[in-house]
Structure 1
Amino acid sequence: MSVLLDLVIPGSETVVDVLKAIVGVCIEMKESQESCARLHQRLKDIFDELLKMEKRKRLPSSTALDKYVRVVANYLQYLEHYRGKKLILRLIEHQKMMGELLLINEEVDTLFKILGLAGIDAMMEWRQVWTADQRVQQELMTTMVANTATVMGELQNTRAQLEAMMLLQFETEQRSERHSDNAMQLMQSMMSTVVKGSKATVEKLPPWFLPSSELEFEPEAFAQGSFASVHRGVWGSGTHVVVKRFLVDDSTEVDVSVKLQIEAEMNLWHQFNHPNIIKMFGASHVSSPPFIVCEDATNGLGLDYMHKKRVVHGDLKLNNILPQPVKLPSQAVYAGEHPSA
Structure 2
Amino acid sequence: MLAGFNLKQMKSALETSVVKEADEEELDPLLKVNESDDGLDDVDTIRQEHKKPSRSRIRQEECESTTNSYWQASELEGRGTLGPTEAPDIFALGMCVIEAFSGGKVWGKRDQNFGKPTSTAKIPPRPPALDDACQWTLVERMCSFDPKARPSFTEVLATFQVFAEDEEKANADLSSSKRRRKFRHYSSRQTHPRATSASIACALSEVQAWCDEASESSALNYQLYERMDDISARLEVMNAEDTIVHLPVLAELIFRFRDMLQRHVNENPLLRLAATRHVVKTIVELHGELDALMDRLQLIRSGASIHSWHSQLSSYREQLWKRLRLSLALDAQTLSGELEGEEEVSLLGALLAFEAKKRSASYSAHDLELLQISLVKVEETYQLMTPGPTPSFRTTESKTMLALSSWFISPYEVLFNEWDAFSRGTFGSVHFGTWMNSNVVIKKMIAFEESGVVIPLRSRRGEKSNANEPTEEPYKQFLDEMSVWSQLKHPNVLKLLGACHVGQHQFIMCEYAAEGTIDSFVSSKPVEERGACARRVLHEAALGLHYLHTQNVVHADLRCSNILIDAEGVVMLADVGFSSLKTTTRPNDTTSDTSRWVAPECLTGETPTFASNVYSFAMCAIEVVSGELPRGRGTTDTAIRANIRKGLLPPRPANCFSDSEWSLIERMCCSDPNARISISDAVKLLA
TM-score normalised by structure 2 residue count: 0.37
Q: Secondary structure at the match of 2:408?
A: coil
Supply the AA of the counterpart residue of 1:135.
Answer: E
Going by fraction, where is strand more abundant, 1 or 2?
A: 1
Specify whether residues 16 and 223 from structure 1 end up closer, same or farther in structure 2 by C-alpha distance, changes over 3 A only. closer
Specify whether residues 276 and 152 from structure 1 end up closer, same or farther in structure 2 by C-alpha distance, changes over 3 A only. same
State the distance in 1 between where 2:506 and 2:429 align: 12
2:318 to 120, 135, 139: 135
State the distance in 1 between where 2:433 and 2:231 align: 36
Kept after mapping to 2: 8 A contact 1:25/1:79: no
Show the counterpart of 2:8: none
Q: Does 1:177 align with 2:377?
A: no
Supply the AA of the counterpart residue of 2:407.
Answer: W
Q: Secondary structure at the match of 1:161?
A: helix
Q: Does 1:219 align with 2:425?
A: no
Kept after mapping to 2: 8 A contact 1:279/1:294: yes
Specify whether residues 219 and 172 from structure 1 end up closer, same or farther in structure 2 by C-alpha distance, changes over 3 A only. same
Kept after mapping to 2: 8 A contact 1:301/1:329: no
Supply the AA of the counterpart residue of 1:239.
Answer: N
1:83 to 241, 261, 267: 261
Q: CA deviation at 1:96?
A: 0.6
State the distance in 1 between where 2:451 and 2:365 align: 37
Show the counterpart of 1:24: 209
State the distance in 1 between where 2:334 and 2:565 align: 51
Q: CA deviation digits over 1:20-72, x for unaligned, max 9?
A: 76553321242222244355567788999x8xxxxxxxx98648995998897
Show the counterpart of 1:301: 543
2:330 to 147, 165, 180: 147
Q: Does 1:285 align with 2:529?
A: no
The more displaced of 85-94 and 329-338 is: 329-338
Show the counterpart of 2:151: 6
State the distance in 1 between where 2:232 and 2:494 align: 52
Kept after mapping to 1: 8 A contact 2:564/2:574: no
The more displaced of 181-190 and 261-270 is: 181-190
2:478 to 259, 262, 269: 262
Which structure has more relative contact order (CA 8 Å, sep 6+)? It is 1
TM-score normalised by structure 1 residue count: 0.65
State the distance in 1 between where 2:231 and 2:371 align: 38
State the distance in 2 between where 1:301 and 1:307 align: 10
State the distance in 2 between where 1:47 and 1:317 align: 47
Show the counterpart of 2:382: 198
Question: Which 5+ residue runs of structure 1 have no aligned equivalent?
Answer: 51-58
Task: Please list, as runs of the form range in 1=range in 2, the aligned pairs for 1:113-132 lying within 5 A after superposition.
Answer: 114=299, 129-132=312-315
Q: Does 1:243 align with 2:443?
A: yes
Q: CA deviation at 1:134?
A: 3.0
Q: Which runs of 4+ in 1 moved over 6 A?
A: 14-21, 42-48, 67-72, 107-113, 122-125, 323-329, 336-340
State the distance in 1 between where 2:151 and 2:295 align: 23
Specify whether residues 105 and 128 from structure 1 end up closer, same or farther in structure 2 by C-alpha distance, changes over 3 A only. farther
Q: CA deviation digits over 1:145-171, x for unaligned, max 9?
A: 333688656743334332332232222
Specify whether residues 289 and 103 from structure 1 end up closer, same or farther in structure 2 by C-alpha distance, changes over 3 A only. closer
The more displaced of 179-188 and 28-37 is: 179-188
Q: Secondary structure at the match of 1:172?
A: helix
Show the counterpart of 1:313: 554
Structure with max Cα Rg = 2
Task: State the aligned residue count.
Answer: 324
Q: Secondary structure at the match of 1:206?
A: coil
1:334 to 577, 584, 598: 577
Aligned sequence identity (%): 20
State the distance in 1 between where 2:572 and 2:221 align: 51
Kept after mapping to 2: 8 A contact 1:276/1:331: no
